[in-house]
Structure 1
Amino acid sequence: MLSMARQDKIITLTTDFGWRDGTVGAMKGVILDICPQARLVDLAHDIAPQDVVAAALVLEGAVPYFPRGTVHLAVVDPGVGGSRRALALQTPLSFFVGPDNGIFELVWKAAEAHFGLGNLKAVYLEEKKYFLEKISPTFHGRDIFAPVAAHIANGLSIDRLGPPVMRLHRLGIPETSPLSGGGVQGMVISFDRFGNAITSIRHEELRQVGPADGVSVWLGRRRIGPLHRTFSDVDEGEPVAYVGSTDRLELAIRNGSLREKFKVRRREKVVVSPAGSA
Structure 2
Amino acid sequence: MAIITLTTDFGQKDPSTGAVKGAILSELESATIVDISHQISPFHITEAAYIIKNAYNSFPKGTIHIIGVDSEITPENKHIALELDGHYFICANNGIMSLIASEIKPEKVVEINIHDAVETNFPVLDIFVKVACHIARGGTLEVIGKTIPQIKQLKEFEPFVNQEQNQLVGHVMYIDNYGNVVTNISRKLFEAIGKGRKFNISARSVNFSKIFESYSDAINFSIPKEKREEEGKKLAIFNASDYIELAIYKSNPRTVGSAATLFGLKLMDSVTIKFT
- Residue 83 of structure 2 aligns with which residue? 90
Paired AA for residue 238 in structure 2: V
Match of 1:250 among 231, 245, 257: 245
Superposed counterparts of 1:1-278, under 5 Å: 8-77=1-70, 80-83=72-75, 84-112=77-105, 120-128=107-115, 133-135=118-120, 137=121, 139-171=122-154, 172-177=156-161, 180=164, 182=166, 184-208=168-192, 209-210=194-195, 215-220=199-204, 222-232=206-216, 233-234=218-219, 235-254=230-249, 255=251, 256-274=257-275, 277=276
Deviations 1:189-238 (A, max 9, x none): 23223222211211112333255x95432225631230012223153212
Q: Which runs of 5+ in 1 are unaligned?
A: 1-7
User: Aligned pairs, how many?
Assistant: 256
Change over 3 Å in CA distance of 1:187–1:128 after alignment to 2: closer
- Per-residue displacement from partner, 1:160-217 (whole Å, max 9, x unpaired)? 1111223322343033315636553322223223222211211112333255x95432
Q: Matches of 2:231 and 2:195 in 1, distance apart? A: 26
Percent identity of paired positions between Structure 1 and Structure 2: 29
Superposed CA RMSD: 2.3
Partner deviation per Cα, 1:45-77 (whole Å, 9 max, x = no partner): 111222221111111110111111110111012
Residues in 1 aligned to 2:13 and 2:270: alpha-carbon distance in whole angstroms:
36
Distance in 1 between residues matched to 2:127 and 2:162, nearest whole Å: 42
Distance (whole Å) between structure 1 residues aligned to residue 242 and residue 145 of structure 2: 35
Aligned CA distance change for structure 1 residues 45 and 141 (closer, same or farther; 3 Å)? same
Amino acid at match of 2:131: V
TM-score, normalisation: structure 2: 0.83
Normalised by the size of structure 1, how large is the TM-score? 0.83
With over 3 angstroms needed to count, the CA separation of the structure-2 counterparts of 1:125 and 1:214, relative to structure 1, is: same
Q: Distance in 2 between matches of 1:67 and 1:11?
A: 11
Residues in 2 aligned to 1:263 and 1:201: alpha-carbon distance in whole angstroms: 19
Structure 2 unaligned segments of length 5 or more: list them.
220-229, 252-256
Separation in 2 of the partners of 1:263 and 1:29?
A: 40
2:227 matched residue in structure 1: none
- Contact 1:74/1:103 (<8 A) preserved: no
